[in-house]
Every structure is written in structure tokens, then in C-alpha cells.
Amino acid sequence: MVVAVALVVGFVTARLGVDPHTAETETVTGVVTWSNEETRLIFFQQDGVPPGSEAIVSVTADNWQDAGGMIYTGGPYPTCLAGADGDPVSMDRHRVELQVIHRAMSAGPAQHFAVQVHCLD
């Protein structure tokens, strides 16, 4: 009986310790088909998802990694997302790996936030 009570108390305590507001990231890989440095929005075609179903992702990442493995923090917009000199828009197709947080909305599609960008090419 004491063991059963201890298990119940332990379970309840553990459940109370879980923060329902904790956001977890998902690692996704695919191709950026459009990017705007000024708005920090990208169109992202995730691997394994049918063509034409790009997600709009807000790039909130303060750090990113280039294809060579160099990590940048608090610096410029990721080079694989940037347009040509003076042009904030890029339609170059670059492969990336993103750490994304998804936010469900009461109406309309979910919002997606890239908190880390890894340029793959």
C-alpha cells in the first residue's frame, strides 16, 4: 500500500513539474525556394513533402552554421539565404537543415519559426 501511494505521489509530482509552455524544436531538412532578408521569411520545401506545399518559415535564428561547419552568432543573415549584393530577395534554391518550432493557430495554418539554420550547400 505504501509503495502504491508513493508511486501515485511521485507520478503527480512529476506531472506538475512539466511546463506546458515548453517549446520543442524539430529538425527538418529541405530546400529554401525563396528568401527575404528584410522580412526574414523563407519558403521552405521539406524533404518528403509533395512539391508545391512549401511552408512559410520566419527565421528568428541568431546563430547559424555554414556548409563548411563555421558557426556564426549574432551576425549577418545566413549566406545560403541571402540574395545578391543589395538585393534582399533570393530565389536561389539552397539545401538547409533547420531547427523549427511550430505554433498551432486557432484559425489558419500553423506558424513556423527557424531558431537555427545550417546551410548544407
Please tell me the pTM assigned to this model: 0.78
Three state DSSP letters for the chain = CHHHHHHHHHHHHHHHCCCCCCCCCEEEEEEEEEEECCCCEEEEEECCCCCCCCEEEEECCCEEECCCCCEEECCCCCCCCCCCCCCCEECCCEEEEEEEEEECCCCCCCEEEEEEEEECC
For residue 9, is it within any domain?
Answer: no
Residue 73 lies in a domain: yes
Given a cut of 80, whether residue 112 has pLDDT beyond it is: yes
Give a yes or no: residue 3 inside a domain.
no
**Domain boundaries, position 56:** 21-119
Q: Is residue 2 part of a domain?
A: no
Whether residue 7 lies inside any domain: the answer is no
Q: Which of 32-36, 59-63, 74-78, 91-95 has the lowest mean pLDDT?
A: 74-78
Any domain includes 5: no
Whether residue 98 lies inside any domain: the answer is yes
- Split into its structural domains, the chain has a count of 1
pLDDT for 10 equals 58
Q: Which carries the bigger pLDDT value, residue 2 or residue 81?
A: 81
